[in-house]
Structure 1
């Protein structure tokens, strides 16, 4: 028995980012010993990623000196020993500054190690009858991308306790390439849905076009396709940002619009949430102030009960519920979105320039949300590993009515704000020839939760000034 009794459960950081060695409590008496080899609640509380294992494998080794590896697979591993003892060697084969970094340690039943995707794993047995066991969070597939490194690589120069000339090793492992010939393992990908929309464009500007970031339109990936589960190798992604939505709030009140809104905003979200949950992918979904009826006098918090007025709001509320079924989810609730393309600010600016005096509603209040700021908030949430859940994200500052914002746009573009006529919502839509969606009168969202996460929403008025100045400079 090589296990050490009496250790406390303790993580030990290593020289390879994400590779974490754990000391395990082992309890023994005259009958033998017992340990909790994998205890999700305790271990994740100590910082271990909640990696969602789906398979448990055991490799039994008869002789001392049996040597296996170095293999880097496209999944995470939780490695331990049931009986015996091994010398383990791990080499970072991922893209980045630590490519080629080495960590070694002895593993007995009182130790385990978390091996992140792309880190090469190998071991050499130090005792006979060694049972080497590991949990993985994906099923083996011949179509997966693997990386291999020769155990005798001179660059990494692993100090094997038993000379490689004296060990049992497979011909295949002996034939693996040296480090100079190993293609680094690319990180798991990010998939942005709704790539051509206002937020999709802002996310592209924020995230760039790295090889592991994919942007998709509905034409390229239809979330309502019955074959969605096989449309991608979903384990190759770690994050899906769903910026796709049906946003024609008035058309949603028509028979055809109603079908399209429910399909895009609810059915599609349920499908991608199911995919994310099944494959351990984090889902970011964009919500709307329209899930509320706007009758409250105070700002709406993330916990305020939803009470949508119209079809669009109903479908967005249903989409929020669907997104929340994914274990790893961020629902980013926003309002009055302004980005590239047609939007309220551009419309008012154009009317001002063309000498047209608009009527604008003055009994709906909220804050503008600029897509660049929403994109920044999304990146903040997943990079800081903020607790999963719903987050309100809008511009900060004093709420305003649409009419007040229109007046400010006129003023910023050098025109008389008195050209804007303030009207009520009912007056504005009086005599409309098509169905009109009900609007929440109060669209103000409470920003305390996202601020507590460490993200400071930009002042909506300052963002408006910069946005209008940018249009002025281009004209």
Structure 2
């Protein structure tokens, strides 16, 4: 242990490979030996290490100097350290992307450790006898896991091994690994879009068109109310986008069980899976979590005050998703996408010569599904801080009657054909229970704008939508 350096401060050192970080570890020693905190979640995550959730601890013992292993890239993250002895380590980025083939080398003794992200090839050569190499991993071994390997003698990586490979102990399997030109890169973690048959799901299909890392699941493909534990190999996924929801606002007043199953129980299942496997969960929320009594735009941190069953289920889902370490709650309002919706109904009435009475005491902004999809892609790809973000159309708020008049005008009809009525008058003759609506649904957009995302003015989006 003469090489072990005592008295270091805990410190993370960036390397030439993205995500690969070398760590200096404090080792406390005296004449009796030494002690160190080999893995300390609170201190290390505070210094920027990903909270990668290890589930298994492995030890590799090597009795001879020069024992050489690698180069192996597995589909999980590893925290690698040395308990006794000393190694020379070489790491090669075998992930798809611009840094494929990048190399980093370093000596590791008990006063150092290294965090190896998923897909970075790991190899080492022992420099002392009786070396024990330990590593924490955040997934269990599986025969279905996708590995990549690189030959230790690859000329492109050109690792400068301290002991020539001709003079050391190497397994026949490691000697047979391919050169870099023949390596199958480790693909990026996948994104799963659930609820892919709905109006937002269709917009997400368009937004991610051509991206082989994105999978889409409809209700028929994946039952969110069932046990999801074995439904996928979840460690292969980096993001779940929940575009599924029970959206029958009025029916929820009597179909309470259905609304809670679709909007709360299903979301709780996704939240559990995301938490257990370190997945980012994206969930779409609603202005219905508020009672509409505000006089200024709702910020993300306003307290919930839902009026009806639908709003209660959405608020409960938001509270559930907020417990997931990596989450984005995208709160929106007045959503317009493919299929039957308010804008298409008004355009049809205008074309058929029908003069509608439309509610004029509910105020908000339209939000088009392609903008929500664009915002979700931005949040998940930009490194925006996790949390809740309002995402609606921008521009001056308007009532439903104002929007209807706008549709009439844009389709070549007289906007004066639209008559405004109160919410009470509009629903006075309803045969079934009607959910109470928030009268004020305007959401503050400053937080998402601060991440670099610019919502489009809803009037501009409306013109484009009608033109299509």
User: What TM-score do you get using the length of structure 1 for normalisation?
Assistant: 0.94
- Which moves more between the two structures, 283-292 or 453-462? 453-462
Equivalent residues of 2:151, 2:175 under 8 A apart: yes
Moved more, 133-142 or 452-461: 452-461
* Rounded Cα–Cα distance in structure 2 between residues aligned with 1:246 and 1:313: 11
Q: Deviations along 1:195-221, whole A, 9 cap, x unmatched?
A: 121211221222223222100001000
Work out the CA distance in 2 between the residues paired with 1:452 and 1:30. 56
Where does the alignment leave 5 or more consecutive residues of structure 1 unmatched? Answer: none
Counterpart in 1 of 2:101?
A: 100
Alpha-carbon distance in structure 2 between the residues aligned to 1:125 and 1:216: 47
Check conservation: 1:274, 1:325, Cα contact below 8 A.
no
Deviation at 1:451, TM superposition (A): 2.6
Superposed CA deviations along residues 240-285 of structure 1, whole A, max 9, x for unmatched, are 000100111112223xx33322211111111111111111111111
- Determine the structure 1 residue equivalent to 2:266: 268
Task: Give the Cα separation in 2 of the matches to 1:42 and 1:353.
Answer: 65
Quick check: 1:114 aligned with 2:115? yes
Q: May I ask how many residue pairs the two structures share in their alignment?
A: 467
d(CA) in 1 for partners of 2:157 and 2:279? Answer: 33
How far the C-alpha of 1:389 sits from its partner, in A, is 2.0
How much does 1:433 deviate?
Answer: 1.7
Tell me the residue number matched to 1:251: 251
The range that moved more, 448-457 or 304-313, is 448-457
Aligned partner of 1:124 in structure 2 is: 125
- Secondary structure of 2:229's partner? helix
In the alignment, which residue of structure 1 is the partner of 2:79? 78
Corresponding residue SS for 1:295: coil
Query: How far has the Cα of 1:453 moved from its partner?
Result: 3.2
1:16 match: secondary structure? coil
What residue in structure 2 maps to residue 232 of structure 1?
232
Q: 2:310 is matched with which residue: 287, 294, 312?
A: 312
What is the TM-score normalised by the length of structure 2?
0.95
Q: 2:408 aligns with which of 399, 402, 410?
A: 410
Cα displacement (A) at 1:138 = 0.9
SS in 2 for 1:88: strand
Report the RMSD for the aligned CA atoms in angstroms. 1.7
> Residue 426 of structure 1 corresponds to which residue in structure 2?
424
- Report if the CA contact (8 A) 1:120-1:149 is conserved: yes
Q: Which runs of 4+ in 1 moved over 6 A?
A: none
On the 8 A contact 1:9/1:25 being kept in 2, the answer is: yes
Instruction: State the Cα distance separating 1:229 from its structure 2 match.
Output: 0.6
Deviates more, 1:241-250 or 1:202-211: 202-211
Map 1:157-168 to 2 at 5 A.
157-168=158-169
Q: Which residue of the partner structure matches residue 328 of structure 1?
A: 326
CA distance, structure 1, for counterparts of residue 465 and residue 44 of structure 2: 47
SS in 1 for 2:57: strand
| C-alpha distance in structure 2 between counterparts of 1:451 and 1:210, whole Å | 26
Report how far residue 3 of structure 1 moved: 2.1
Q: C-alpha displacement at 1:397, in angstroms?
A: 2.3
The match for 1:369 is 367
The answer to whether the 8 A contact 2:197-2:219 is kept is: no
